[in-house]
A = this chain, B = another copy of it.
Amino acid sequence: MRATVYHGPGDVRVDEVPDARLVEPTDAVVRVTHAGICGSDLWFFRGQSRIYEPGMRVGHEFLGVVDEIGTEVRTVRPGDHVIVPDVYSDGSCEFCLEGLTTSCLHGGNWGRWGDGGQGEAVRVPQADGTLVRLPEAVEADEAKLKTALLLTDVMATGNHAAVSARVRPGVTAVVVGDGAVGLCAVIAARRHGAERIVAVGHHAGRLELARRLGATDLVDSHSDEAVPEILELTSGGAHCVLEAVGAKESLRLAVAAARPGATVGWVGVPFFDSPDWFEVYKKNLAIAGGMAPARAYLPELLGAVEDGSLDGSAILDLTVDLDRIADGYRAMDERRAIKVLVRVA
């Protein structure tokens, strides 16, 4: 089969690789139909990853059709259209039962030396715990299908930022970051009832999309006046701050934008040393969040996609075929695209 392989910085290729196959009786093999390129994929693409080595398979956001199942798989059958969250998990360990599927005792990641989502098929361990069937209404509708693809990672991550920041009806929320996760965080803040949502970023077009998705105020993060402007808009800082980047400067900005006693929900894969800890200390901020348990959020979010109340399709602003996936990486790297949908089958 064909799958995307990392060959080195700036170099991903679609190579012929061994076919995905069942190994454990709890596995399924899923033929991929749609995959996403994630902002975090740019890390290895830019040579900034500590994890990826040439030869590794990539991609952790995908939808597909079940092709084969192991003898112990009970919840899906061949032919089922499924959504596959960004890590696999057994659904039954103590952490999964608490909703912390990212800490599953028998879970793991896609890609690396196993199958990646940016390929024709994937061996899915822990199929019963991991896979969720796509409702027909979602499968049949292009916008809903696109939003379903976002649920595998970035929309779950935006939701996790809102949950972690304790966004609740009536609050003012600041969202730091206008990438795909930041835009999803705006949607999530709105869904959780924030009355005022200040989107902070530095791409005019993305900030305008943030406004269409629910932001009430826009702030240019590159302006010297960004912090005073946010403090002015929020009367001294927001109760809820959603940090959707994972860089040192964005976390500093999030801490500066927080009102004393606030909660900062942070969900960007961390690429920093520290915020200003003395400020965190003095303001009694809670910093909560981490890697989003996408699988745990799927039932609720997929329901909202199905009933039409959750639509993030505009975030996937470029579509490429698997053969042209390198173009998709370059478009995201050069910020010509917010997020790329890869049509696999």
Contacts and interface: CB of A to CB of B under 8 A. Distances in A.
A286 B277 CA distance: 15
Contact of A103 (B103, B164, B260): B260
A283 B272 CA distance: 17
Contact of A274 (B274, B284, B285): B274
B286 A286 contact: yes
Give the number of copies in the complex.
2
B260 A100 contact: yes
A135 interface: no
Nearest to A278: B270
- What is the interface residue range for chain A against chain B? 20 to 34
A266 B284 CA distance: 10
A209 interface: no
A280 B286 CA distance: 13
A291 interface: yes
A307 interface: no
A281 interface: yes
A4 interface: no
Contacts of A272: 274, 277
Interface string A282-326: 111111111101000000000000000000000000000000000
Given A277-B272, A278-B270, A287 B287 contact: yes
A108 interface: no
Contact of A261 (B103, B261, B273, B282): B103
A283 B289 CA distance: 9
Contacts of A103: 260-261, 282-284
A1 interface: no
A86 to B, nearest CB: 13
A285 to B, nearest CB: 7
A95 interface: yes
Contacts of A284: 100, 102-103, 289-291, 293
A232 interface: no
Contact of A100 (B261, B274, B280): B261
Given A284-B290, A286-B289, 11 more contacts: A98-B261, A100-B261, A100-B284, A102-B260, A103-B260, A103-B283, A269-B281, A270-B278, A273-B274, A273-B277, A284-B289
24 contacts: A95-B260, A95-B261, A98-B261, A100-B261, A100-B284, A102-B284, A164-B286, A270-B278, A270-B280, A272-B277, A273-B273, A273-B274, A273-B277, A274-B277, A280-B290, A281-B290, A281-B291, A282-B290, A283-B290, A284-B289, A284-B290, A285-B288, A286-B286, A286-B288
